[in-house]
Amino acid sequence: MANPNVSVSPGDIKYADLNNDGTIDDYDKTYHNKFHSETPAIVYGFGLNAEYKGLYGGVFFQGVGKASVNLLTQTANFMPFVNGGRDASSARSEVMNRWRVADPYNQDVIYPRMHSSEFKYNERPSTWWYRDASFIRLKNVELGYQFSKNVLRRYQMQNLRLYIQGTNLITWDHLKYWDPELGGANSGAKYPLSRVWTLGLEMTF
């Protein structure tokens, strides 16, 4: 329920009185919004392979669609100073992207007005903290050369190929704050997927 003693000022989040009873409380919560569930409704992947005179290459993309993420799943991991002004772990560069008195009409920010201590009013579940979690990722790329049968016979080998492979190379997404494949768990406080390059030589005698 709303706390009538909370001092709300310009720059704090403004909630809509959806049931028009003159009070902002739990009865104004709704599921009718533009956001989807945090569980993707669409999971897909596609790829392409090609080969020419021993040279070969392949790419594979994966992605999800119709999914959303709540930035405040774990409030202390995303909201600066939630544990007080001495919370050094929250003193990050993103805090600069906030509402300011000097620029009061700028609504294109992540954070509302900053507080030096916990301020529950701005941490309520609302569409302000939801983002589109759909993404597409260049998951795998492989380029290589398969040596010819003449070369294999000459060196008495069954197989010889040289290749380079990359994994988790590029991600196109709307979230931007952390790896979208992590979802909203812990507000991104998880180790992201690593970009990996592998150079290999495969020989079979």
pLDDT-based confidence at residue 73 (cuts at 50, 70, 90):
confident
Encoding tokens for residue 66?
Answer: 């119709």
pLDDT tens digits along 92-146: 677 888 999 999 888 889 899 988 777 888 888 889 999 999 999 999 999 999 8
Q: Which residue has the higher pLDDT, 153 or 59?
A: 59
The model carries a pTM of 0.78
Identify whether the C-beta of residue 89 lies closer than 8 Å to the C-beta of residue 189.
no
Closest CA to 69 of 42, 38, 43: 38
Q: How far apart are CA 150 and CA 68, in angstroms?
A: 55
Mean pLDDT of the chain: 85
Residue 67 pLDDT greater than 60, yes or no:
yes
pLDDT tens digits along 30-63: 877 888 888 899 999 999 999 998 899 999 999 9
Identify whether the C-beta of residue 40 lies closer than 8 Å to the C-beta of residue 133.
yes
Per-residue model confidence (pLDDT) at position 1: 44
Domain ranges (residues) in the chain: 26-204
